[in-house]
């Protein structure tokens, strides 16, 4: 962090330092870097594996994306929505009584939101609704909402856009090398994804 402060550069941490400088303590900057970089790598890797699997399991959608590469942004949003590598938003405690859907969350009660439920999907390895890369996903909750919106959302989208487009450009005939039932899943990812082309 000291080196970054001396020569910030034009990267994520450098921009934080340039734009917020002395406002950020060393602990805050280190915490931000650790949270962003560590969770971003794991979440993007999990989403990339599960998203690739989702495309391979929906060959008509894969064919549509190959035919119409301009749909990559829609495809990335559909992948992010459909695989939801983070199943649950961090719990929140109500600071006041809040009426929601005919019920009242009382002051002091803790609630959590199922991102899988909010996005209409299921846990990794379970049957999913068909993928639709033309769907309007502007309201999905995979990155949270409001003040709790994921700070890494833009980077995640960019990395997935580059990775998926690059994979399909280089290997347009990619397909699963094993039956889907033979795949193993961890809590946030497919453990391996054997493919052929």
- Mean pLDDT computed over 138-164: 88
The pLDDT assigned to 31 comes to 85
Band of the pLDDT at 125, cuts 50, 70, 90? Answer: low
Q: What is the DSSP annotation of the chain?
A: -HHHHHS--SSHHHHHHHHHGGGS-HHHHHHHHHHHHHHHHHHHHHHHHHHHHHHHT-HHHHHHHHH-GGGHHHHHHHHHHHH-S--BPPPEE-SS-EEETTEEEPTT-EE--BHHHHTT---TTS--PPP-TTS--TT--TT--GGG--TTHHHHHHHHHHHHHHHHHH-TT-EESS-GGG--B-SSSBS---EE-
Domains of the chain: 35-82+117-196 (1.10.630.10)
On average, the pLDDT of the chain sits at 88
Check residue 128 and give its pLDDT: 63
Give the pLDDT band of residue 144 (cuts 50, 70, 90): confident
- Percent of the chain beyond pLDDT 70? 96
Model confidence pLDDT, tens digit, residues 19-53: 888 888 888 888 888 877 777 888 899 999 999 99
């Amino acid at each position: 962090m000291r080196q970054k402060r001396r020569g910030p550069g034009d990267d994520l941490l450098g921009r934080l330092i340039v734009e917020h400088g002395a406002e950020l303590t060393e602990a805050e900057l280190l915490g931000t870097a650790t949270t962003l970089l560590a969770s971003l790598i794991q979440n993007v890797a999990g989403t990339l594996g599960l998203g690739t699997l989702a495309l391979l399991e929906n060959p008509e959608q894969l064919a549509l994306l190959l035919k119409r590469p301009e749909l990559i942004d829609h495809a990335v949003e559909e992948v992010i929505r459909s695989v939801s590598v983070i199943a649950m938003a961090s719990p929140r405690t109500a600071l006041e009584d809040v009426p929601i859907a005919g019920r009242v969350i009382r002051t002091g009660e803790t609630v959590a939101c199922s991102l899988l439920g909010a996005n209409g999907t299921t846990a990794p390895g379970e049957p999913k609704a068909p993928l639709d890369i033309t769907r309007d996903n502007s309201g999905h909750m995979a990155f949270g909402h409001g003040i709790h919106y994921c700070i890494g959302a833009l980077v995640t989208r960019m990395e997935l856009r580059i990775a998926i487009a690059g994979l399909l450009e280089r290997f347009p005939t990619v397909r699963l090398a094993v039956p889907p039932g033979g795949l193993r899943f961890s809590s946030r990812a497919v453990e391996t994804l054997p493919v052929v082309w």
